[in-house]
Structure 1
Amino acid sequence: MEGKKHTVTLAGFLITIIGSILFSTKAIIVKVAFAHTHMDALTLLMLRMSFSFPFYLAAVLLARKEKLAPLTTRQWLGVIGLGLFGYYLSSLFDFVGLQYVTAGLERLILFLYPTFAVLINAFVFKQPVVRTQKIALLLTYTGIGIAYFGEFNIDISNPNFLWGSFLIFLCSITYSVYIVGSGRMIPSVGVTRFTAYAMLASTAGVFTHFTLNGGGLHDLQQGGTPIIWYGILLATLATVLPTFMMSTGMKKIGSNNVAIISAVGPVSTIIQAHFILDEKIFTAQIVGTVLVVIGVILIGWKRK
């Protein structure tokens, strides 16, 4: 359990749940963008990072005011590596995978990252897996199996279904590496400074990839104003705003409570996908989602 107990205030609860719901809009915005433009995943990701960049830069300036000790070479390498691995690679896998799977399934697979974090801590850092976590892992992977095979039977005509699913799994794994690594670096680096530099590193990775891939301003001009708006929505509504809200929620009610409340994310995505993208809701998906959410809540409950 956390060293300090937190009371779940109404303000903290509302900020956290709204932040979780806003995070869940990312897949919806990406799917709508793919459906209504000719934009590829890399261009959309570049737009997201471009409009997020000013906020990350402002965070760097705020971090400098904290007058912390300069980062060592090892710390710089850790921050940059985690930024590239956790947000550049993770987001790239996610956006490409969303071209081939539904938003509901994407969110469900992505929501496995807390279980991967438990496994990384167990196998790499030799942290014991307690009984509650073992039950949580069993529930979570059973749930994803039920939902996945239910979706596979519905979407069996999609030739890229398995490839898209694999990419989302890679996204969840790379993001869990970022979560585990950040948890070990933040105490010595500082949360604002770590987040700002990691995000700037991931932004540099996306820009470099976009340039080497032959991307340029003409790619953006072909689609006109709508393409720009998708980038703005992804950056503000689905990235920057929920990030600040979740950080505020952690300060008000603690990370354990935030982890539990954020389990609303997959449910929110499935409901939005049904009404906005016309994705079907089926029994296997409901059963699988319930098991995954219960499993992740158990992990959040026992998180140290």
Structure 2
Amino acid sequence: MSKSRIIGVILALLGVVLFSAKAVMVKLAYQYDVDAVSLLLLRMLFALPLYLVIAFVKRPKDPEVMKPKVYLWIIGLGVVGYYLASLFDFLGLQYIKASLERIILFVYPTIVLFISRIFFKKLITGSQVLAIGLTYVGVVLAFSLEFSLEGEGLFVGAGLIFLSAITYASYIAGSGWLIPKVGATVFTSYAMIVSCICVLVHYSLVGDFNLMNYGMEVYGLGFAMAVLSTVIPSYLVSYSIKMIGAPSFAVVASFGPISTILLASYFLGETMHWAQWVGTVLVLVGVFFVTKKD
């Protein structure tokens, strides 16, 4: 393995662990009676100045790089990837455990495969079909034991998290070819600025404008999410995709559900039944074989 690829894998691991910590921080913040939209706004408000500074410093020197079509793609991916995906994720975490959230969310590589088939005409092999089936069996197994524990909210939460997986998969599929054209730093900065603006507009339409009346714990968690689980990992992931490719990143990202389970167990006291561990393993194995061919 080349030095560049080793560095790409390390960046991917760091990014995955930091992104995984977001779900735990969200669950911790919900203990202080903050709603999902307000918490998402705090996250983006703390992150936006950092993205603006980095976008200005790293702005493209060649105007030919940033054509109108490129801007449209960045806007679209910014809306889909880090606005809608984050919104669905924050809403879903009101209903289900952080560990279950990560298991459901991690089916996104299989969705990337379907998107690539539909829009980029890439073939899906027989082994990949089997791997996709294995992945969803794992999700159902991990999901099934929650029926008696969560009630109707379980289905709402799981559905929202699955929507988050679909939108994030769309972002990954699109960023895989756009990052080499404009650069990882420029793409990430611009896409995240778009996402921050979307959240601001969303809050202005439906928010309670009670943003200054939360405890310091909420602001502390919002800042930690912005820096540790948004800004830093967003660049780590973009650079790792640039260095090792989106399919290889998806394989490395297999560590995401495990890190979330460990963090949720330590900070939230969440427990995992043996069947949920089996389901997690099936999801990881399925995702590995979905992406292994590439």
Query: How far 1:253 moved relative to its partner?
Result: 5.6
- Aligned partner of 1:198 among 191, 198, 202: 191
Distance 1:179 1:249 in 2: 12
Deviation track 1:91-137 (CA, whole Å, cap 9, x = no partner) reads 11100110001101110111111100101111333211023322321
- CA distance 1:208–1:250, shift in 2 (3 Å): closer
Instruction: Give the structure-2-normalised TM-score.
Output: 0.91
Distance 1:279 1:43 in 2: 25
Deviation track 1:137-163 (CA, whole Å, cap 9, x = no partner) reads 12111111111112224x24x331111
Give the corresponding residue for 2:30: 34
- CA distance 1:220–1:226, shift in 2 (3 Å): farther
- What amino acid does structure 1 have at the position aligned with 2:219? I
Conserved? CA contact 1:102–1:279, under 8 Å? yes
Query: How far 1:279 moved relative to its partner?
Result: 1.5
1:44 aligns with 2:39: yes
Give the corresponding residue for 1:223: 214
Distance 2:132 2:73 in 1: 28
Give the corresponding residue for 1:211: 204
Once the two structures are overlaid, the 10-residue window that deviates more, 57-66 or 129-138, is 57-66
Conserved? CA contact 2:13–2:252, under 8 Å? yes
Deviation track 1:66-103 (CA, whole Å, cap 9, x = no partner) reads 43415333332221122112211111110011000110
Query: 3-state DSSP class of the match of 1:221?
Result: coil
- What amino acid does structure 2 have at the position aligned with 1:207? L
Distance 1:236 1:75 in 2: 27
Conserved? CA contact 2:184–2:238, under 8 Å? no
Conserved? CA contact 2:8–2:243, under 8 Å? yes
Conserved? CA contact 2:184–2:239, under 8 Å? no
Distance 1:76 1:244 in 2: 19
Conserved? CA contact 2:104–2:162, under 8 Å? yes
Q: Using the aligned pairs only, state the percent identity.
A: 41
Deviating runs (4+, > 6 A) in structure 1? none
- CA distance 1:81–1:9, shift in 2 (3 Å): closer
Distance 1:189 1:143 in 2: 37
Distance 1:64 1:90 in 2: 26
- What amino acid does structure 2 have at the position aligned with 1:103? A
Once the two structures are overlaid, the 10-residue window that deviates more, 180-189 or 163-172, is 180-189
Conserved? CA contact 1:87–1:199, under 8 Å? yes
Unaligned runs of 5+ in 1: none
1:281 aligns with 2:277: no
Query: 3-state DSSP class of the match of 1:39?
Result: coil
Matched ranges for 1:1-304 at <5 A = 6=2, 13-35=9-31, 37-69=32-64, 71-153=66-148, 155-156=149-150, 158-216=151-209, 219-250=210-241, 255-303=246-294
**Paired positions, count:** 294
- CA distance 1:188–1:253, shift in 2 (3 Å): closer
Conserved? CA contact 2:74–2:191, under 8 Å? yes
Deviation track 1:212-262 (CA, whole Å, cap 9, x = no partner) reads 22443xx23211322211111101111122233334545666655443222
Unaligned runs of 5+ in 2: none
- What amino acid does structure 1 have at the position aligned with 2:291? G
Distance 1:88 1:144 in 2: 24
